[in-house]
């Protein structure tokens, strides 16, 4: 049985994006740093940059959802809070810090906070319903807290 290696076709010294992602990155970084702009795969570089922006936005939404999930559980599962308080408190504090860090690193996401916060609350409700088996109707349809409250290290909602 023989194994045939696929040939990697290079165009103008470019490393194909689809075949060797790491090599492609190195090639483009070096080309840009050395001023060889004609050797840069601009279409794929633009696509990668766009994907990086989307990834940062998803990370912020995910951390907001994690924060809101635990705030909802904190306020609606008072009996369970007694046994999970340290874990939930640590998760809430870490999520708050991570959200603030993401916003410091990506201030251009601030104008999208309202939209992201609303979407994150929907994500959080789905997670809470799944984890607790409580009916969705038991929880407020809209987030009962403001963004500022959710991020306030002194805020701990009561049920």
Condensed to tens digits (0 to 9), the pLDDT of residues 42-97 reads 999 999 999 999 999 999 999 999 999 999 999 998 888 888 889 999 999 999 99
Q: Summarize pLDDT for 125-144 with one digit per residue, the tens.
A: 999 999 998 999 999 999 99
Report pTM. 0.81
Nearby residues of 39 by Cβ (< 8 Å), 6 or more positions away: 12, 13, 14, 27, 31
Region 104-122: mean pLDDT is: 97
pLDDT at residue 13, as a whole number: 58
Whether the predicted pLDDT of 104 surpasses 50: yes
Assess contact for 121 and 142: CB atoms under 8 A. Answer: yes
Whether the predicted pLDDT of 6 surpasses 90: no
DSSP string, 91-102: HHHHHHHHHHHH
Assess contact for 78 and 85: CB atoms under 8 A. Answer: no
């Amino acid at each position: 049985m023989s194994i045939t290696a696929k040939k990697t076709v290079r165009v103008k010294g470019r490393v194909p994006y689809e075949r060797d992602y790491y090599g492609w990155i190195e090639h483009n970084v070096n080309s840009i740093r050395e001023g060889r702009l004609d050797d840069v795969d601009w279409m794929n570089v633009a696509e990668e940059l766009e994907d990086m922006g989307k990834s940062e936005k998803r990370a912020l939404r995910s951390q907001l959802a994690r924060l809101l999930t635990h705030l909802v559980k904190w306020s609606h599962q008072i009996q369970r809070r007694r046994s999970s308080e340290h874990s939930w408190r640590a998760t809430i504090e870490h999520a708050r810090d991570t959200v603030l860090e993401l916003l410091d690193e990506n201030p251009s996401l601030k104008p999208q906070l309202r939209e992201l916060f609303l979407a994150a609350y929907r994500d959080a409700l789905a997670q809470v319903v799944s984890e607790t088996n409580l009916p969705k109707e038991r929880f407020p349809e809209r987030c009962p807290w403001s963004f500022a409250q959710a991020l306030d290290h002194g805020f701990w909602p009561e049920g």
